[in-house]
C-alpha cells in the first residue's frame, strides 16, 4: 500500500529563519500534518548533528516527539538518515583512527535504530553516498577522490562500510525496510546506474538492502525526468522496493515573489508526473514531499531567488499541485 508522507519541519534552516520549532508551536501546521498524511519524515531531527551532537550525548526529544506524534495519528515514520556526509558534527569529522570511527558509527546506528525499533517503517541508511556526475572523475562514491564533499566514513573506512551500515541497522531493527537514498537519480542516468550496480552487488553479497529511494528535489528550469518510471522499474525488477522521499518543485520567483499561474500549473504537472510514475511501479510504496507548506520550505534559504516549491502557500492555501496530487490518487 502506498503511503503519502511529508517531512516534519524542525531544526536546520528553520532555526536561522527564526522559527523555534514549527512542529511544536504551530497548531495549524500540526493539524494539517496529522490530517493530510499517512507517513512522516523528520526533516532534521534524526540527523547526526541533532540526535548525537557530542560524543556519548544523545538528544532524543525532537525525534521522539515526531515518532510519538505519528503513532498517535496512525502514521508511519521514515527514518532519515544514518550514513551521510552532511550535518555531521565536527567531533565525528575529527576522528582519524579508523577503528575508532568504525566503532562510533556502529554504536550510533545501533543506538538510534535500536531506540525506535518496530516504530520506523523505512530507514534511509545511506544518503547521498555517490558524488555527482558533474564532479571531477565522473560518478563515484564520495571517497575523497572527487571534487565533491567526502563522506568521512567511506573515505577513511572504504566502501565496505556501506554494507556494514545496512547490517548494523538490520540487527537493530529487523522489521525496518532499509534504503539507499539520493538526488539527481530520478532519470536513468550515470548516477542512477552506479546505484543500480551497487544495489545488485549488495544483494548478491546478502546485504539487507530493501529499497532504493529517489529524493526528487526538482526544478522547473530543467526538463521533467522523463525516464523516471523506467528507471524505478529497473530497481523494482531487481527485487527492491522504491520510494519518492523528498519531492519538491522549485522555480525562480518573479520580482515581487508571487508565482505566476503558469508556474503553478507547470509545478502541478511535475508533482503529478512523479506520483504517476510511482503509482505505475508495483513496489513503489512510499511517496513523501519535502514539507507541505512554503512557510517552512528549505528551498529559499538554500537556493536564493527560488521558492514556492511545496503544495501549499505560506498561509496554507492549497496550490494547484495539491489538487493535482489529490486527483491522481
Site for ligand XIL, rule CB under 6 A: 12-13, 43-44, 127, 215, 246, 298
Could you tell me the smallest distance in angstroms from the CB atom of residue 11 to ligand XIL? 7
Residue 266: CB atoms within 10 Å: 17
Residues 27 and 8: their CA atoms lie apart, in Å, by 13
| Coil, strand or helix at 209 | coil
- Name which of 233 and 245 has its Cβ closer to ligand XIL: 245
Residues 273 and 280: their CA atoms lie apart, in Å, by 11
CA torsion through residues 266, 271, 272, 276, sign: positive
Residues 222 and 326: their CA atoms lie apart, in Å, by 24
- Name which of 127 and 233 has its Cβ closer to ligand XIL: 127
Element (H, E) at 247: strand 241-252
Could you tell me the smallest distance in angstroms from the CB atom of residue 91 to ligand XIL? 19
The set of long-range contacts for 314-321, using a CB threshold of 8 Å and a minimum separation of 24, is 316/28, 316/32, 319/264, 319/267, 319/268, 320/264, 320/265, 320/267, 320/268, 321/249, 321/264, 321/267, 321/268, 321/270, 321/271, 321/272
Q: Which of 43, 128, 177, 186 is catalytic?
A: 128
Length of the chain (residues) = 329
Give the residue closest to ligand XIL by C-beta. 12
Could you tell me the smallest distance in angstroms from the CB atom of residue 13 to ligand XIL? 4
Q: Which three cell numbers stand for residue 252?
A: 525562480
Could you tell me the smallest distance in angstroms from the CB atom of residue 127 to ligand XIL? 5
Could you tell me the smallest distance in angstroms from the CB atom of residue 324 to ligand XIL? 22
- Name which of 32 and 280 has its Cβ closer to ligand XIL: 32
- Count CA within 13 A, CB hemisphere, residue 36: 24
Q: Which of 43, 177, 241, 246 is catalytic?
A: 246
What secondary structure letter does DSSP report for 18?
A: T
Q: Is 246 a catalytic residue?
A: yes
- Name which of 81 and 285 has its Cβ closer to ligand XIL: 81
- Name which of 3 and 126 has its Cβ closer to ligand XIL: 126
Q: Is 145 a catalytic residue?
A: no
- Name which of 13 and 326 has its Cβ closer to ligand XIL: 13
Could you tell me the smallest distance in angstroms from the CB atom of residue 126 to ligand XIL? 11
Active-site residues: which are they? 128, 246
Amino acid at each position: 500500500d502506498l503511503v503519502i508522507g511529508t517531512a516534519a519541519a524542525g531544526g536546520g534552516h528553520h532555526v536561522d529563519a527564526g522559527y523555534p520549532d514549527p512542529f511544536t508551536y504551530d497548531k495549524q501546521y500540526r493539524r494539517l500534518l496529522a490530517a493530510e498524511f499517512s507517513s512522516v519524515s523528520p526533516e532534521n531531527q534524526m540527523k547526526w548533528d541533532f540526535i548525537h551532537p557530542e560524543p556519548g550525548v544523545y538528544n532524543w526529544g525532537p525525534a521522539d516527539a515526531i515518532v510519538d506524534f505519528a503513532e498517535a495519528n496512525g502514521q508511519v515514520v521514515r527514518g532519515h538518515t544514518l550514513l551521510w556526509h552532511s550535518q555531521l558534527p565536527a567531533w565525528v569529522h575529527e576522528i582519524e583512527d579508523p577503528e575508532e570511527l568504525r566503532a562510533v558509527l556502529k554504536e550510533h546506528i545501533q543506538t538510534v535504530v535500536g531506540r525506535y525499533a518496530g516504530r520506523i517503517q523505512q530507514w534511509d541508511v545511506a544518503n547521498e553516498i555517490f558524488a555527482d556526475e558533474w564532479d571531477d572523475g565522473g560518478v563515484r562514491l564520495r571517497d575523497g577522490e572527487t571534487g565533491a564533499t567526502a563522506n568521512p566514513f567511506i573515505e577513511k573506512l572504504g566502501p565496505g562500510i556501506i554494507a556494514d551500515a545496512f547490517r548494523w541497522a538490520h540487527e537493530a531493527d529487523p522489521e525496518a525496510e532499509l534504503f539507499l537514498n539520493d538526488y539527481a537519480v530520478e532519470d536513468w542516468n550515470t548516477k542512477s546506474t552506479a546505484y543500480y550496480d551497487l544495489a545488485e552487488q549488495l544483494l548478491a553479497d546478502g546485504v539487507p538492502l530493501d529499497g532504493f529511494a529517489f529524493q526528487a528535489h526538482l526544478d522547473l528550469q530543467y526538463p521533467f525526468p522523463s525516464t523516471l518510471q523506467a528507471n524505478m522499474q529497473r530497481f523494482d525488477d531487481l527485487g527492491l522496493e522504491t520510494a519518492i522521499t523528498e519531492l519538491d518543485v522549485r522555480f525562480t520567483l518573479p520580482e515581487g515573489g508571487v508565482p505566476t499561474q503558469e508556474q503553478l500549473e507547470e509545478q502541478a504537472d511535475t508533482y503529478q508526473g512523479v506520483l504517476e510514475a510511482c503509482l505505475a511501479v508495483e513496489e513503489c510504496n512510499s511517496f513523501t514531499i519535502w514539507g507541505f507548506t512554503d512557510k517552512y520550505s528549505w528551498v529559499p534559504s538554500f537556493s536564493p531567488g527560488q521558492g514556492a516549491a511545496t503544495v501549499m502557500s505560506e498561509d496554507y492555501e492549497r496550490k494547484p499541485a495539491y489538487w493535482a496530487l489529490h486527483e491522481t490518487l
